[in-house]
């Protein structure tokens, strides 16, 4: 086992080595390492060698990345000898280090649900001789959508065509949930660096930035799905998880939230920009735990995002026409994206699996907290970028969505064997109705619910 270099200065409060990045920002021992299954690794010398690319391996740095490590190495787990080469001894008196050495809250045991479906999925790809990634046509479609967003901005935002504005809203939403979302999980291009590079270039025209999205979605939501640690449930704007504190406005959330969804993407960008700017000014890492340079980059990207999606029409068109174009584009895009996201988890069937005490097998938790719709519809599959099969997506995040229907058969059979529910709705409209019922259920004060019970 290697030891960390003693050349780093030591934090007086923890006794752990402290390094500094090129901006002079202190980087603690816990933030420099990777923690997997209760062990610490220094993979800094392996970064350039990582087959999945630099961005993929950096997702786990500074965290307990057990779940990311196991699910993103879908086809081949790194050899034990390779990992042992980078294992390091650490200061166990450091609270941050000790917390990350605690390991995952979930299990990945042989014979349990996740390992069972993982083995069967591998057999499916071996038998069919298919690769888990996207096909060449998927890649062409992805790039075409991104180009389409740029092309449609001219007739919509510069010339003021309302029809082009509506089409721009549709194509932008499709680009966000299809190539945008898939690239954040490294499933569009075979080389990880191309996924993150194209995402970074396109993100100012879509939803968020690479670092914010991967922090809140890939690292938080996909691991701590629908728990109080899920960074993507928009609390306290709305109360989805019953364990979260009730606020006075939650009594009306099933009514006002639809207006928020209508303007969701500009509000989302504005919220992220304010958080990034505040963290940059105060020097704090913020809820996403990012560095000052990342906060600066996010602030500039999100400002550009708002400039393009909201301000740009007013630079070329009369105020009334610009407002109409802006509203049409953003409302269509926002509703398509936000509703796709919320019906994936925020429905009554997923309640009851959110507390820490219920966590066991990681795959079982994903099944219990996820919800599908229109699983037999090829149109729904492609329009949603596979989000309609959210259960399969959470179980196999690095697999391209075109394989989800086949994997869905495997998952449904395993759910029946293990006594797990397979939460699904026949249509998207039914899924939206379920989401409304969940918001209504959580709009009541907990003490009122208990007294009625």
Question: Do residue 424 and residue 326 come from a single domain?
Answer: yes
Question: Do residue 334 and residue 432 come from a single domain?
Answer: yes
- CA distances (Å), origin 451, targets 352, 440, 447, 448: 19, 18, 6, 5
Mean pLDDT over each residue of the chain, to the nearest integer? 85
Residue 285 DSSP one-character state: -
23-27, 121-125, 320-324: lowest mean pLDDT where? 23-27
Q: What's the rounded mean pLDDT across residues 212-241?
A: 80
Question: Do residue 57 and residue 179 come from a single domain?
Answer: no
Contact yes or no for 214/195 (Cβ under 8 A): no
Domain boundary pick from 81, 97, 113: 97
According to DSSP, the residues that pair with 107 across neighbouring strands are 361
Domain boundary pick from 97, 128, 151: 97
Question: Do residue 86 and residue 117 come from a single domain?
Answer: no
Q: What's the rounded mean pLDDT across residues 292-309?
A: 87
Query: What is residue 47's predicted lDDT score, i.e. its pLDDT?
Result: 85
Question: Do residue 326 and residue 439 come from a single domain?
Answer: yes
Report residue 4's pLDDT band, with 50, 70 and 90 as the boundaries: very low
Domain boundary pick from 39, 71, 97: 97
Residue 354 DSSP one-character state: -
What is the span of the domain harbouring residue 188? 105-453
**Length of the chain in residues, anyone?**
453
Query: What is residue 448's predicted lDDT score, i.e. its pLDDT?
Result: 55
Question: Do residue 112 and residue 79 come from a single domain?
Answer: no
pLDDT digits over 262-273, tens only?
A: 988 898 888 888
Integer Cα distance of 432 and 428 in angstroms: 6
Question: Do residue 89 and residue 233 come from a single domain?
Answer: no
To which residue do tokens 């869905």 refer? 408
Q: Following DSSP, what letter does each residue of 307-318 receive, concatenated? A: IIIIIHHHHHS-
Say which CATH number the domain at 69 has.
Answer: 3.10.120.10
Q: For 175-229, give the secondary structure using H, E and C.
A: HHHHHHHHHHCCCCCCCHHHHHHHHHHHHHHCCCCHHHHHHHHHHHHCCCCCCCC
Does pTM top 0.85 for this prediction? yes
DSSP H stretches of helix in 248-349: 253-262, 264-282, 292-306, 312-316, 319-342
Q: Calculate what percentage of the chain has a pLDDT beyond 70.
A: 89
Question: Do residue 89 and residue 110 come from a single domain?
Answer: no
Q: What's the rounded mean pLDDT across residues 294-313?
A: 89
Could you give the number of structural domains in the chain? 2
Question: Do residue 84 and residue 111 come from a single domain?
Answer: no
Question: Do residue 197 and residue 225 come from a single domain?
Answer: yes
Question: Do residue 261 and residue 397 come from a single domain?
Answer: yes
Query: What is residue 30's predicted lDDT score, i.e. its pLDDT?
Result: 80
Question: Do residue 416 and residue 287 come from a single domain?
Answer: yes
From the CB of residue 274, how many other CB atoms can be counted at a distance below 10 Å?
Answer: 12
Query: What is residue 352's predicted lDDT score, i.e. its pLDDT?
Result: 64
């Amino acid at each position: 086992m290697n030891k960390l270099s003693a050349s780093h200065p030591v934090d007086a409060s923890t006794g752990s080595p402290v390094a500094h990045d090129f901006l002079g920002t202190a980087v603690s021992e816990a933030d420099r390492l990777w923690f997997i299954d209760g062990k610490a690794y220094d993979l800094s010398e392996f970064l350039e060698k990582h087959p999945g690319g630099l961005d993929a391996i950096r997702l786990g740095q500074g965290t307990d990345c057990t779940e990311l490590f196991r699910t993103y190495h879908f086809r081949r787990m790194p050899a034990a000898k390779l990992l042992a080469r980078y294992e390091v001894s650490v200061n166990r008196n450091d609270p941050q280090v000790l917390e990350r050495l605690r390991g995952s809250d979930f299990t990945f045991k042989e014979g349990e649900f996740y390992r069972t479906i993982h083995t069967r999925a591998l057999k499916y790809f071996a038998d069919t001789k298919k690769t888990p990634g996207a096909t060449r046509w998927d890649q062409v479609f992805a790039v075409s959508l991104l180009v389409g967003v740029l092309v449609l901005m001219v007739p919509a935002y510069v010339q003021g065509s309302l029809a082009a504005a509506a089409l721009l809203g549709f194509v932008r939403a499709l680009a966000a949930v299809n190539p945008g979302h898939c690239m954040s999980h490294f499933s569009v291009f075979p080389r990880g660096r191309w996924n993150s590079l194209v995402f970074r270039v396109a993100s100012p025209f879509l939803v968020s930035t690479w670092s914010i999205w991967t922090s809140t979605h890939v690292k938080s939501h996909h691991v701590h799905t629908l728990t109080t640690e899920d960074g993507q449930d928009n609390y306290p704007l709305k109360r989805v998880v019953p364990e979260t504190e009730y606020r006075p406005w939650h009594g009306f959330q099933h009514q006002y939230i639809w207006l928020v969804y209508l303007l969701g993407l500009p509000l989302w960008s504005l919220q992220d920009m304010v958080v990034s700017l505040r963290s940059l000014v105060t020097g704090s890492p913020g809820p996403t735990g990012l560095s000052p340079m990342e906060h600066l980059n996010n602030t500039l990207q999100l400002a550009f995002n708002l400039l393009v999606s909201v301000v740009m029409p007013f630079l070329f068109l009369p105020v009334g026409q610009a407002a109409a174009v802006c509203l049409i584009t953003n409302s269509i895009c926002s509703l398509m994206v936000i509703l796709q996201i919320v019906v994936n988890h925020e429905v009554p069937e997923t309640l009851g699996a959110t507390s820490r005490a219920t966590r066991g097998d990681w795959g079982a938790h994903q099944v219990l907290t996820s919800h599908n719709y229109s699983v037999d519809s090829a149109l729904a599959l492609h329009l949603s970028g596979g989000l309609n099969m959210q259960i399969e997506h959470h179980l196999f995040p690095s697999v391209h969505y075109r394989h989800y229907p086949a994997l869905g058969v495997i998952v449904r059979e395993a759910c029946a064997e293990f006594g797990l529910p397979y939460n699904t709705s026949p249509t998207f409209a039914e899924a939206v109705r379920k989401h409304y019922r969940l918001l209504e259920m959580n709009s009541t004060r907990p003490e009122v619910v208990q007294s009625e019970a």
